[in-house]
Amino acid sequence: MTAPYLKPLPQVSEENRPFWEGLSEREFRGPRCRSCGQFGWVPYPACRNCFSTDIEWVPLSGRGVIYSYSVVHRGPAAFAGDTPYVVVMVELAEQPQPMIVLGQLDDCPLDQVRIGLPVSVTFHDIPGEDVTLYRFAPSTPVGSNGGD
C-alpha cells in the first residue's frame, strides 16, 4: 500500500486541462497563437502579443537552459522534508520570444547547479492520484563532457 501524497496537487480547469492531459501522456504542452506563432506559458484567453483568441495547445520540446534558480533550505509544510532542493526558472528552447517556466530541479548536485545549465522535462506520476507532475533534470549527466 502506498503512503498518501500530502503535497498540493494541481487545480485542473478547462483553461489548463490540455497541459495536464499532456503530462499524463508524457508530452509537455504549451499554448501557441495560431495568428502570430507566439508561445505563452500561462493559459490566457488571448495572445499577449497580437490579442488574437485563436490559441492552440502544442507539444513543446521540454528542453531549455536554467535562466535563474534558488536553493530552498527551509521548505514550507509538506516540502520541509525535501530540503535542500532547487527551484529553477527555465528558458525553453521554443521561440520567437523567450518562454520562462518555473519548476523543481532533480538529479543535480547543488554545487553543479548554474545559470545556462541545459535541462529537460521529466515526468512524475503521483502514486494513488490520477495526476502526472513535471520537473527538470540536467540534459546531460552533470560533470560529463556533454557540453558541461
Q: Would you kindly state where each structural domain of the chain is located, as residue ranges?
A: 14-60, 61-148
How does DSSP classify residue 143? T
In Å, the largest CA–CA distance within the chain is 51
DSSP-assigned beta bridge partners for residue 87: 70, 104
- In this predicted structure, what is the pLDDT of residue 142? 61
The predicted model gives 136-148 an average pLDDT of 68
Residue 148 in this model has a pLDDT that exceeds 50: no
pLDDT digit string (tens) for 50-64? 999 999 999 999 999
pLDDT category at 141 given cuts 50, 70, 90 is low
Question: Among 62, 44, 61, 66, which Cα is nearest to 53's?
Answer: 44
pLDDT category at 41 given cuts 50, 70, 90 is confident
| Torsional class of 50: left (φ above 0), alpha (ψ -120 to 50), beta (otherwise) | alpha
Residue 109 in this model has a pLDDT that exceeds 50: yes
The predicted model gives 12-22 an average pLDDT of 94
pLDDT digit string (tens) for 61-107? 999 999 999 999 999 999 999 999 999 999 999 987 889 999 999 99
- Of the spans 2-11, 109-118, 125-134, which averages the highest pLDDT? 109-118
Measured between alpha carbons, how far is residue 112 from residues 66, 91, 115, 123 in Å?
A: 12, 18, 10, 22
Amino acid identity of residue 39, one-letter, is F
Its CATH architecture, for the domain 61-148, is: Beta Barrel (2.40)
Say if residues 92 and 60 touch (Cβ distance below 8 Å): yes
